[in-house]
Structure 1
């Protein structure tokens, strides 16, 4: 049993994705039906959709589009982490609307595509604090050099549950282990941060990586955060850049060899069930 906490649906006929023009390998439709067929074969039973950085004017439209897929009989999708703009004045009203929608499980604002000082702004930080008590999580998608931004936000809002995406996006391709390792250790000291072991195959040399390539990164994350503060995600379709969903699932199983059944269950589904009430 797997809960996939990080699925992206790309449907260019339904929504605008400005960033795709600069990402040729992903500038295609990646629809739910294709994902679901492979996911079921891999043992994935429940899925959270992760926002795909659509045009800001289409943020609500993206949530509505994914919700319509979730309502179809047999759908794996159980909720959504939705896009947001905490740096803007309209966030407070947007937050109230999302709190009223049980399909919405949390927020994400990708921080490595904007200047670092965006997350340091007074309005951004005030709005992050507003999430306290809502039961909604906040995903942080940052690069290793931005570890201090993660810790600053976690310290700023200790009652907000943060989720660090993709093991903090290590540069595995360049074997840049040490600077990433130090940042992860520091972030893990914040009890209100969970780490998402998701899609790291996309950061490898797609032709040469093996499970052993990834093992030190996964072991450092689990040692730093502990098995109660890790969740699993596919990052489909980004994981196709490193072999695809089935390959990432197989590598996950290989890296969990020797791990206790209780620890495996926490990573693969139990922590996600608890965190997002799935």
Structure 2
């Protein structure tokens, strides 16, 4: 499937995962010197022509820093830019006044859910009673939760999601498997286990940055795509570019092309779901 196919078939294409920031070296210390191409500002005016060139109708902006001001920043951008169809913000899920904060946030129509950067956290982070209690409160306001973890945290994520069957979860970046090393296990078995939970979806995103940045080939990703498509099916997968982070390893078109090429084996209706409709449904986007 090519960009022209998407355009000609009038497929609603939604990028379910991208970021905006005004670069701050101290705050954004995770953007290391070797990631020099993204050590600068990235705003809607930078993304808009990229989406247009790639036949993408809109996007979901996801938090990149863990502050209340980050959520406010993204909401302001969403209000001013129609390409931003939804926002996944940050809120202190351990806060004693979390319910009141969520009630305040519920007035913002484009705020769809929240995320905490759980990747790299100590073992057991997701299973803390106060964290589970906080995430459980999202249900009252129809907010979703994005699970950002490394592949070695998948078993913990399973136990976490089991405890919260009414929360709508989406796994970011297929849990960052070790694509550069070609390692499949235990990631593959753990993905299959997590996918057995009906309240968990998965973003096909962030793969190029887990591969060899300079020397990846599309074939490197096929075994991982085989696993997530078998596990989640086309009903619970959604396209995400992880722009601008993807730029350290691929241009937007290249990152997106990995998935659109793979989807050429599927029906148009299945491709439509993965490339847009699943994101619209999961985040309840107003298109």
Q: TM-score, normalised by structure 2?
A: 0.88
Output the CA distance in 2 between the equivalents of 1:115 and 1:97.
31
Output the CA distance in 2 between the equivalents of 1:181 and 1:35.
33
Contact 1:198 1:233 in 2 (8 A): yes
Alignment of 1:215-230 (within 5 A): 215-230=222-237
Task: Name which of 172, 181, 185 aligns with 1:174.
Answer: 181
Aligned residues: 271
- The Cα offsets for residues 16-41 of structure 1, whole Å up to 9 and x where unpaired, read as 86242652214322222122211110
Say which is worse superposed, 102-111 or 24-33, in terms of deviation.
24-33
Contact 2:174 2:202 in 1 (8 A): yes
Task: Name which of 53, 64, 77 aligns with 1:41.
Answer: 53
Offset of 1:68 from its aligned partner? 2.6
- The Cα offsets for residues 183-206 of structure 1, whole Å up to 9 and x where unpaired, read as 101100111000110121111112
Output the CA distance in 2 between the equivalents of 1:113 and 1:94.
26
Output the CA distance in 2 between the equivalents of 1:72 and 1:103.
11
Residue matched to 1:20: 29
Residue matched to 1:65: 73
- The answer on 1:4 being equivalent to 2:12 is no
Check 1:211–1:33 CA distance in 2 against 1; reply closer, same or farther (3 A cut).
Answer: same
Output the CA distance in 1 between the equivalents of 2:122 and 2:155.
14
Alignment of 1:1-278 (within 5 A): 1-12=12-23, 18-20=27-29, 23-24=32-33, 25=35, 26-54=38-66, 56=67, 59=68, 61-72=69-80, 75-278=82-285
Output the CA distance in 2 between the equivalents of 1:151 and 1:114.
16
Offset of 1:94 from its aligned partner? 1.9
Offset of 1:144 from its aligned partner? 1.0
Contact 1:85 1:91 in 2 (8 A): yes
Output the CA distance in 2 between the equivalents of 1:133 and 1:121.
20
Output the CA distance in 2 between the equivalents of 1:37 and 1:242.
20
Contact 1:105 1:137 in 2 (8 A): yes
Unaligned runs of 5+ in 1: none
Q: TM-score, normalised by structure 1?
A: 0.91
Residue matched to 2:4: none
Residue matched to 2:6: none
Unaligned runs of 5+ in 2: 1-11
Output the CA distance in 1 between the equivalents of 2:215 and 2:48.
27
SS at match of 2:264: coil
Offset of 1:111 from its aligned partner? 0.5
RMSD: 1.8
Output the CA distance in 2 between the equivalents of 1:156 and 1:17.
36
